[in-house]
Amino acid sequence: AQSVTQLGSHVSVSEGALVLLRCNYSSSVPPYLFWYVQYPNQGLQLLLKYTTGATLVKGINGFEAEFKKSETSFHLTKPSAHMSDAAEYFCAVSDRLSQGGSEKLVFGKGTKLTVNP
Amino acid sequence: DTGVSQDPRHKITKRGQNVTFRCDPISEHNRLYWYRQTLGQGPEFLTYFQNEAQLEKSRLLSDRFSAERPKGSFSTLEIQRTEQGDSAMYLCASSQGQARLSWYFGPGTRLTVT
């Protein structure tokens, strides 16, 4: 079964600093990979996704993530943090269509990002 | 297209009571998913529908939980004889087709069992 590990349940950065949120997946076949953001008491919003092709994926709000097959990783970065980036971030995976299997998304436990002024 | 909506947004109930939540997916989406999110955890899959057919259920979905999607449009999730451990955010999502590339999440229903 697919699983996702997010290293660091809490990350704190200063405004303007680099944001790096880590995600590793466990699958011999690279799954589809997603990053979602969740603001307090709200649902999940898709930041970006990797399906195929270019391994550096750009998303909304200046975020990007790089798929590294050799490291089974899909870390999320943003060059300069903004106060409005404070939220919880979830990495998720799903089996590729070609694999069949379940259609569900499997989420990591999340990383809460705090941005200090 | 107004997105995925869920009702109610908040529900407080006493232990032992039954509760029902509703999810209205994006209108042309044939797949609908229910997730549960407890404090400090990521969303956990509960069940999903393709049209009106319930195709997969998690072992998390005990016999006190039941979900329906009678006409392939909105869905309901019922919890019978609620327990304090049922306190969580219940999220609904919808998607279209088999691409597995786009899920749209609703705002969630926060359940508190006292």
Q: Over the stretch B44-98, which tens digit does the pLDDT of each residue have?
A: 999 999 999 999 899 888 899 999 999 889 999 999 999 999 999 999 999 887 6
Residue A91 contacts residue A34 (beta carbons within 8 Å): yes
Interface of B with A (CB under 8 A): 4, 31, 33, 40-45, 48, 55-56, 91, 93, 98-103, 105-108, 110
- How many beta carbons lie within 10 A of that of residue B29, not counting itself? 19
Contact call for B33 and A104, based on CB within 8 A = yes
B20 Rama class: left (phi>0) / alpha (psi -120 to 50) / beta? beta
Sign of CA dihedral B8, B13, B16, B17: negative
Name the DSSP letter for residue A79.
S
Q: Over the stretch B87-113, which tens digit does the pLDDT of each residue have?
A: 999 999 998 876 567 789 999 999 999
pLDDT above 70 for A66: yes
Q: Give the pLDDT score at B62.
A: 87
What mean pLDDT value characterizes chain A?
91
Q: How far apart are CA A7 and CA A111, in angstroms?
A: 8
Provide mean pLDDT across the span A85-89.
Answer: 96
Burial of residue B52 (number of CB atoms within 10 Å: 0-12, 13-18, 19+): middle
Q: How far apart are CA B105 and CA B52, in angstroms?
A: 19
Sign of CA dihedral A64, A68, A73, A79: negative
Query: What part of A 2-61 touches B (C-beta under 8 Å)?
Result: 4, 9, 32, 36, 41-46, 49, 51
pLDDT above 70 for B39: yes
- For A113, the token pair is 């990002």
| Of B1, B26, B31, B15, nearest in space to B84 by CA | B15
